[in-house]
Copies of this chain bind each other. A is one copy, B any other.
Amino acid sequence: MRIGELAKATGVDVETIRYYEKTGLLDAPARRGNGYRVYARAHLERLSFIRHCRALDLPLADVRRLLCLVGLPRTCCAEIDQLIDVQLARVRARLLSMRALERQLVALRGQCQAPRTASRCGILHELVAAAQGEACVCHRAACEEQP
């Protein structure tokens, strides 16, 4: 199986596969006489594993560790479970900040309903005013929700 075929089979870009090899995440495969990489089933599975982990947005360092733990079946899995817990916490934190961001942007967007000149744009006006120390709609709203 050549690199392009592996790429198609896994949905991972060719360049990315080479990058994974360079960083030691994927074993260097055998080569044909012409220098082309030849992949075996084991590579396919390992790369699919990586891709699946990446779909969960796990950092490559975590993926590396997981791949390592697959080869150590006697280890306690607490570390694995914790990797997922930490990732879940990261995702939830991001979720919270994205929600706040959405609210802020909606509030800001509401400042300009119809196109005018820049000097009369409610959005720009708001951003400039906030920079001069005045409370801004986007962040003022967030603060008032607190109590």
Q: A residues within 8 Å of B by Cβ?
A: 45-46, 48-49, 52-53, 55-57, 66, 69-70, 72-78, 80-81, 84-85, 87-88, 91-92, 94-95, 98-99, 101-102, 104-106, 108-109, 112, 115-121, 123-124, 127-128, 130-133, 136, 138-139
Contact = CB atoms under 8 A, between A and B. Distances in A.
Interface SS majority for chain A: helix
A91 B80 contact: no
A28 to B, nearest CB: 19
Contacts of A66: 124, 127
Nearest to A98: B95
Contact of A139 (B55, B75, B102, B109): B55
Contacts of A92: 102
Contacts of A74: 117-119
A119 B73 CA distance: 4
